[in-house]
Amino acid sequence: MLLRLLACVTVIACSASAQGPRPAPVGAAADYHVHVKGDLTLDDALRRSRQDGITYGIAINGGVGFPTSSDAGLEPFLAEMRGKPVFTAFQAEGREWVRLFSRQALAKFDYVFTDSMTWSDDRGRRMRLWIPEEVGTITDAEKFMDMLVDRATRIFAEEPIDLYVNPTYIPDQLSAQYDRLWTPARMKRIVDGLAANGIGMEINNRRRIPSAAFIRLAKQAGVKFACGTNNAGAADLGRNEYCAEMIKACDLRPEHLWSPPAEGKKAVQRKELR
């Protein structure tokens, strides 16, 4: 099955590259969420990509509290990537990013993505879900999940993003209950929100999310999938193992797989920055 899929993917990549300068690999032939950081240099990433036959989407993070928090910080990154065989991605951090960058600057990237890991709770406390001290002890997991679904669906409706990454992540203190807390009703709100806004869903190799059940539901809703890793350093980069596993387990065919939007169809070109 995987071999057959890879054969189809090759056909698609060839026909896409015939139409434009940039090949459009899909499925496990691309890792759309790579960061040049930690001990991973750009040269390392390019070598690794070539060796593994996996095209990388290299992302810069931008937002409040990040080294890049305005248009001016984007150009050096874009200049460094120019002419390299990679996609360029902008990872929107926090919810304030829509006020920090212009559409014109963001449209220079191949795509924009974000996650639902940074938001403010009902008391106005800004949290980054991967930092335990900011989240504190969650005493009411049900209430927390409802808040997460509310914030995520608001992001999908309001922010111009092409891809939802680190999808369905919940704090480590709850992760053992992932399948119980992501009830069918909550999953449905997430996948419907993605589908309604034309947003793709990452299948994240490093955290092995979303679950197969989540992916099957999203597939039914017409959501398209992109493999991504979100590496902290070189050691996190693999060969899309989890994504390939899910492609097989959920019978994802080329038509279910995401590829970067065409010029003019990018989320920042379709939707307002509010």
Residues at the interface with Zn ion (CB under 5 A): 91, 230
CB of 130 to Zn ion, least distance (A): 11
CB of 4 to Zn ion, least distance (A): 31
CA 29 to centroid of chain Cα atoms: 16
In this complex, which beta carbon is closest to Zn ion, that of residue 88 or of residue 230? 230
What's the Cα-to-Cα distance from 151 to each of 83, 116, 202, rounded to whole Å? 37, 7, 18
In this complex, which beta carbon is closest to Zn ion, that of residue 129 or of residue 217? 129
CB of 34 to Zn ion, least distance (A): 8
CB of 226 to Zn ion, least distance (A): 13
In this complex, which beta carbon is closest to Zn ion, that of residue 206 or of residue 239? 206
Count Cβ atoms below 10 Å from residue 272 Cβ, excluding itself: 10
Q: Is 249 in contact with 212 (CB distance < 8 Å)?
A: yes
Using Cβ positions, the residue closest to Zn ion within the complex turns out to be: 230
Q: Is 227 in contact with 32 (CB distance < 8 Å)?
A: yes
In this complex, which beta carbon is closest to Zn ion, that of residue 34 or of residue 252? 34
In this complex, which beta carbon is closest to Zn ion, that of residue 37 or of residue 271? 37
Q: Which long-range contacts (CB under 8 A, 24 or more apart) does 236-240 make?
A: 236/206, 237/31, 237/34, 237/40, 237/45, 237/48, 238/205, 239/28, 239/52, 239/54, 240/28, 240/31, 240/54, 240/205
β-strands 126-128, 87-92 pairing: unpaired
CB of 123 to Zn ion, least distance (A): 27
